[in-house]
Structure 1
């Protein structure tokens, strides 16, 4: 019996959601595939559903080597979100501006900061919904509520915060440069995460 492709993909995704290194992901997949091939046992009966198996693997790992630290994950996630939110805002505002100067008011700034907080919170809850052993539905529901709150906050900020005068202004070219640089930084962080997560199977002797 061979491991079903769908189960293998779900297990791989579940392991990566726990920030488990590509080397360890490869080892776990090889162990599951070998067990199924040798015994013919159903992988769910032997190891549990993919998210359950991944959670057990994460709990057993040496945090110094097998996974990234919680602080490193949080900092990387916050930095990526900030670069995407502010970079896309600067770039789009500049590209669609009808003047040579892009002005930002208190309303704009508050709306962006609120959006950043809610994006980070919603993403964290969504990851918890995928990785937690219990309460997945509660985390998922909370993530949906945060997304809805983020949309509503963008409309509410206009009525709650003074829109004049501008807090600061940027030349159009500077906003384009800052936005492009921020998005490039976000892509760099994402590529680093992809490289780290590349699955590496153990060498067979």
Structure 2
């Protein structure tokens, strides 16, 4: 009796996750492939195609009601996690290690953080597109690398252009700790939800 090659299974699992397909549906797809290979002895590449190609085919057949999040939902979720992480950790660390009772935030601080957030989210989305798009994969991959490189360049440019002396706004140390803690807890909650959604669940029949 032939069993599904572990390498093919692992690559298919990763490819399906890249398409933001629910763990329940991922389990169903893996079970279907494993059952077919076991019953027929056919090579999975011949039967279903390469993992990335088959994952794209599966994703095309799904919508929100059948286990796939919309592109807008994925982007919004990724941006929210990135924003909460960056601002939450920034405020929390500033509050914990500040020497003064009040923490000043300059125009340079704000612009640098927002720019970094936008570039990181954009680069991450391009990175996922490089693994999920049927065409122009190399273009997306190069664009992702360039975007991540811009993260470093942008911080240098912003540091030399924007005012880093005059406070744009100030925050009491206790408020920075409290706000940072709330934002970090929000990230933990969102990640916990994502982990639950992505947990692979095989159909009971298997």
- Residue by residue over 1:89-113, the C-alpha shift from the partner in whole angstroms, topping out at 9 and shown as x without a partner, is 1122223322222110000000011
TM-score scaled by length of structure 1: 0.94
In structure 2, the gaps of 5 or more residues are: none
Deviation at 1:199, TM superposition (A): 1.2
| Partner residue in 1 for 2:83 | 82
RMSD: 1.5
Q: Tell me, yes or no, if structure 1 residue 52 matches structure 2 residue 77.
A: no
Mapping for residues 66-145 of structure 1, pairs under 5 Å: 66-145=67-146
CA–CA distance in 2 between the matches of 1:132 and 1:124?
11
CA–CA distance in 2 between the matches of 1:56 and 1:188?
31
CA–CA distance in 2 between the matches of 1:201 and 1:2?
16
Count of residues paired in the alignment: 205
Is the contact between residue 63 and residue 69 of structure 2 (CA under 8 Å) also seen in structure 1?
A: no
- Residue by residue over 1:45-81, the C-alpha shift from the partner in whole angstroms, topping out at 9 and shown as x without a partner, is 2211211110000011244333112222222111111
CA–CA distance in 2 between the matches of 1:37 and 1:6?
16
In structure 1, the gaps of 5 or more residues are: none
Is the contact between residue 108 and residue 158 of structure 2 (CA under 8 Å) also seen in structure 1?
A: yes
Moved over 3 A (4+): none
CA–CA distance in 1 between the matches of 2:201 and 2:33?
15
| 2:171 match: secondary structure | strand
Query: Structure 1 residues 62 and 118, CA, compared in 2 at 3 Å: closer, same or farther?
Result: closer
